[in-house]
A and B are shown apart, each in its own frame.
Chain A
């Protein structure tokens, strides 16, 4: 019985070696299509997965943004123009993933967190390599051959391809595959003329947010330990190549294309309760450039909602500073009014909430603010009555 089991394990390991070597990466002069039945299944599963994303309204549609992102991807992989397509995944969390059929998805949250084009190019180059090197197919073969899981999966009839797409493409591949994506992706950055010194900064920016986040996500680009590994890998690559050499950084072009998305990303993160993630992004030195006008308001709001020690006082400071810089901006008045209302500072609460409504008469939350103002009026009247001497 034991001998049979040993033979079975030996056979599975031999098969693993066979399967892993049969996947050759896509080459420039080759047709980009699945070359085995297993790959074909993965392509089909990827298409089904994309259909689900589309039907579920999880794809962010902005033709201008799509064109800009596609331009970066094509610059990195010019020989695969028309084969690799980039889409924006409507999710405020940090992530990007490549599917077996050549579709690359970048989360809105990741786009809104990065600082320049070279940083986004680093992520796209990394993901593009996962596709070209067929990492999902290799990983799939590996999982199929890791005996117990294959048996369990087979018995239960779980569609493994779907699992692999979800588990690996989104959460990350093996260390070996990730290292390969780092190394080959780095070469693509050099060839495309991007400033490679920005590669480490891209992952540092993501790691900063991932570390701060109250909610730990299983996604590859939201995992602080995995990002630390990326930083180390890219530091080594920078040391081996001349990282100081010039190249495109593209902060202005990136900001111009991404700016409309940044505020939406901040809103999305707040709607997901990622208060510390918003705070850490808005407290960095270059926040005023990345988040003009509205940055101070979202910082104040995030601090107020997080409600930690000193958060309310810090929120007031930032909101007042924003009002000083942009006196006609209504939102800081709203946030200040609500903080003062919580602190029972009725006079200041009334003043700021009234100014908010004066500046934004069509505000969506007008009914709430009017209700607060009524309650404030009643409380002020009660206080006056209590102070008057009784006859």
Chain B
């Protein structure tokens, strides 16, 4: 009798629990709340008012203005042990910034194996008083949509920090690029 009640109840609750993990929570950034921290409180950035932040993500700040398909900015600190998980290799303790860029590109390409990815530009930059890289990539999906992506990457005390922006080349990329560069300018590592 007890089983007859518990089993259907369990079967009802289980899919709901599973689905709850898939639900994304978006919060609009209001005036005065522009400075945003990641869940580990390891870094902060200033997000423009009225942009929307995805709030149930770990160790990263993910924001958009009109939807992630139109523009998507992600600032994150990667896993310390395996920052480039798909490469399955140990990194040097202090990789050169050019090497760091090569590992990042390899990891990105490996994760999107069926998409054509082309490196358009790579330049050294200073982020949070450290030397990092700024890489521009072109991605083309199977429908022919060209998406451009800019990533700032920097290695600080064994952690890889990444600030990425991607948007369709048509209209959105150029339009929201200044907002991204502004966010990059506010990137601050916290003690």
Question: Complex formed: what's the CA distance from A342 to B99 in Å?
Answer: 11
The interface of chain A, by Cβ under 8 A from chain B, is 52-53, 55-58, 90-91, 93, 214-215, 270-273, 275, 305-307, 338, 341-342, 364-365, 367-368, 371-372
- Given the interface pairs A214-B89, A342-B96, the reply to whether A56 lies near B144 with Cβ below 8 Å is yes
* B35 contacts across to A, CB distance below 8 A: none
What are 13 A-B pairs at a CB distance below 8 A? A55-B142, A55-B143, A57-B116, A57-B140, A58-B114, A270-B106, A271-B106, A272-B110, A307-B92, A338-B99, A367-B123, A368-B97, A371-B131
B107→A273 contact, CB < 8 A: yes
* B119 contacts across to A, CB distance below 8 A: 271
* B131 contacts across to A, CB distance below 8 A: 371
| Chain B residue at smallest Cβ distance from A306 | B89
Which B62-118 residues have C-beta < 8 A from chain A? 84, 86-92, 94, 96-99, 102-103, 105-107, 109-110, 113-116
B89→A341 contact, CB < 8 A: no
B105→A271 contact, CB < 8 A: yes
Interface of chain B, helix or strand or loop or mixed? Answer: mixed
* B97 contacts across to A, CB distance below 8 A: 368
6 smallest CB-CB distances across A and B, nearest first, come from: A273-B106, A55-B144, A52-B142, A57-B116, A56-B142, A273-B87
* B49 contacts across to A, CB distance below 8 A: none
| Chain A residue at smallest Cβ distance from B123 | A367
Minimum C-beta distance from A270 to chain B (A): 7
Contact of A342 among B92, B105, B107 (CB under 8 A): B92
* A338 contacts across to B, CB distance below 8 A: 96, 98-99
A215→B142 contact, CB < 8 A: no
* B99 contacts across to A, CB distance below 8 A: 305, 338
A215→B88 contact, CB < 8 A: yes
B141 at the binding interface (Cβ < 8 Å): yes
| Chain A residue at smallest Cβ distance from B105 | A271
* B185 contacts across to A, CB distance below 8 A: none
A214→B87 contact, CB < 8 A: yes
Question: Complex formed: what's the CA distance from A372 to B86 in Å?
Answer: 28
Minimum C-beta distance from A165 to chain B (A): 13
Question: Complex formed: what's the CA distance from A90 to B115 in Å?
Answer: 10
* B141 contacts across to A, CB distance below 8 A: 56
Question: Complex formed: what's the CA distance from A30 to B110 in Å?
Answer: 43
Question: Complex formed: what's the CA distance from A170 to B96 in Å?
Answer: 37
* A58 contacts across to B, CB distance below 8 A: 114, 116
- Given the interface pairs A52-B143, A305-B102, A342-B96, the reply to whether A365 lies near B87 with Cβ below 8 Å is no
Minimum C-beta distance from B126 to chain A (A): 10
* B124 contacts across to A, CB distance below 8 A: 367-368, 371
B122 at the binding interface (Cβ < 8 Å): yes
Question: Complex formed: what's the CA distance from A341 to B122 in Å?
Answer: 20
B109→A272 contact, CB < 8 A: yes
